[in-house]
Structure 1
């Protein structure tokens, strides 16, 4: 059965042949347009994008070979079947037609039976190509989804641990090259196990989502990266951010979290969810690694917990932890 959506462009300077082909193709159930010159064919191809072209080799303004060659050059990513119409039967002409981008030949006078057979063959190829395009688009979307899954934490929508590791390594190299400061902050939701024990894991998951949203809102630069480091632990990678700027941002995170007023029914330090944090700021040297930064921020985080929680402590270089503004 013919595909009524198949659009055929006939390029034929003979009015008689053009009328025959047009009538025959429409009788077969195809949409058909007829033009008589190479220039018209090129214009129509650019405007209408036919699914199949029947192209006379001998045209009044240029050879059909030249038309086919220009179509292929103008749209190399696409493919439209081209069947040459010719009275020529030499092997050189056949070879040339294939070289310039033709796919098949019809010898004049054109037989209805042969025309229908060749159109059907090309129709199958067009259908397979359309399906291939659909599958390619589906594969592309699937690959994008997989990429998101490989970089995004499923629960919070923040960058996951894998993405965190990749970006931290990249930003260390950038800091080393540009001599600009880089800040890493780690946060831990205070008494999160007691929150889960009191309200259950469904509420616990929602709490983590809300904390993630707070971190996302606090990061206004495209280069700042909030991430879920693991469990109830979160991270911020802040490129080109000195210690003072990082402190201000962390204060902003604390204010946003306080404003969220996430009730904590079993916290010894308050009625709402709080966090403890540790941060470190460096201008990366040859010895700076992701491990050394995470270790420094983690030591500061544990110092914050030891100091009573609900606060952030900064650890810079080899200096001892020094208290930053409390997250209240």
Structure 2
């Protein structure tokens, strides 16, 4: 009800502050009227100003021109209400400066303005009260005095509580803005961290992020039989595709294969990445030779089922199990198997003969290598 459909903390702060100012004006008018502190003309002016601020609040609540309304309010407070309050409410002896400090805090903290406008605003908050203080010093009798010390104390106390309420509205708004902006910063930082780990063309893990995954896989291995398999894929004849079909088609080929690879890897609980150029990689953990074989068959089936305009994407692959190697050596062994696959006809995936740590895990990759070599000869 109070803030309507305000969506930002800044807008809510404007609305709460304006509403609090309107209530403060009505409370001040009632105090001045029933306490006979000031002239009835000022009571009427204060009431009218409260109604104007209330209208500003209602308009800002519905249409959200909060920034412009804040500027109008600050201008009216500095050039109209402050001088009138000073004149009718006992000058230096009254609470005008207390109210001005609150309005200044709102103006400097809530308004998003240009530097020269901020300097101008600051000058207004210095020049206007300085002129009033100077006039009160030169002509002490130009403002009426309180009828009694009791009325002065009551006026000071009520004004102080009103100012505290306004300050509470401001500070609460500032904290909401701070928390909102902090959440946005954290979200942006998380997005930046995530984007720094991804390849811009394919959306897969980039070279550095994938190497970090390999490091973590090796350092996390405790049982020899729980192998991690590294599969390197290289698109066959990709340079020829780029040269004959153009780089746009080449990029589309990379994106399509990356999507198919990611879908396949997700099915097997694996991690996919792009190591550079037309070379991709998959990390399966834990994995056996049969798991790797099933994933490779699934990937090739997907490629065959979703050809591009100029044919099916064909790739060569090389597989190596970690065997507690270093990351670099692990990658080298997978790359050697990939190179062997390319030299023996491409469009196949071969296993590194020394990839697995136990003979039972080697037997099937070696058998598969022999089968694929025989098929390609």
Counterpart Cα distance in 1 of 2:264 and 2:312:
19
**Is contact 1:183–1:239 with CA below 8 Å preserved after alignment?**
yes
Aligned to 2:158: 112
Question: Is 1:226 aligned with 2:237?
Answer: no
TM-align CA RMSD: 3.5
Q: Cα distance 1:220–1:149, how it changes in 2: closer, same or farther (>3 A)?
A: closer
Question: Is 1:306 aligned with 2:306?
Answer: no
Aligned to 2:207: 161
Aligned to 1:275: 315
How far did 1:109 drift?
9.5
Question: Is 1:4 aligned with 2:15?
Answer: yes
CA displacement 1:185-242 (0-9 Å, x = unmatched): 0000111111111222122111111001111111235741011111110000000111
Question: Is 1:139 aligned with 2:170?
Answer: no
How far did 1:290 drift?
0.7
Aligned to 1:75: none
Written as runs of structure 1 = structure 2, the 5 A alignment for 1:1-328 is 3-5=14-16, 111-177=157-223, 179-221=225-267, 223-264=269-310, 271-282=311-322, 284-285=323-324, 288-317=325-354, 322-323=369-370, 325=372
Could you tell me which runs of 5 or more consecutive residues in structure 2 were left unpaired when the two chains were aligned.
Answer: 1-12, 20-26, 32-49, 59-152, 356-361
Counterpart Cα distance in 2 of 1:289 and 1:149:
27
How far did 1:118 drift?
1.6
- 2:221 match: secondary structure: helix
Q: Cα distance 1:324–1:275, how it changes in 2: closer, same or farther (>3 A)?
A: farther
What TM-score do the two structures reach when normalised by structure 1?
0.62
How far did 1:108 drift?
9.1
Counterpart Cα distance in 1 of 2:238 and 2:277:
10
Q: Cα distance 1:148–1:274, how it changes in 2: closer, same or farther (>3 A)?
A: same
- 1:226 match: secondary structure: strand
Query: Between Structure 1 and Structure 2, whose CA radius of gyration is higher?
Result: 2
Bigger strand share: 1
- 1:156 match: secondary structure: coil
Could you tell me which runs of 5 or more consecutive residues in structure 1 were left unpaired when the two chains were aligned.
Answer: 9-19, 32-106, 265-270
Q: How many residues align?
A: 232
Counterpart Cα distance in 2 of 1:227 and 1:298:
15
How far did 1:258 drift?
1.4
CA displacement 1:37-70 (0-9 Å, x = unmatched): xxxxxxxxxxxxxxxxxxxxxxxxxxxxxxxxxx
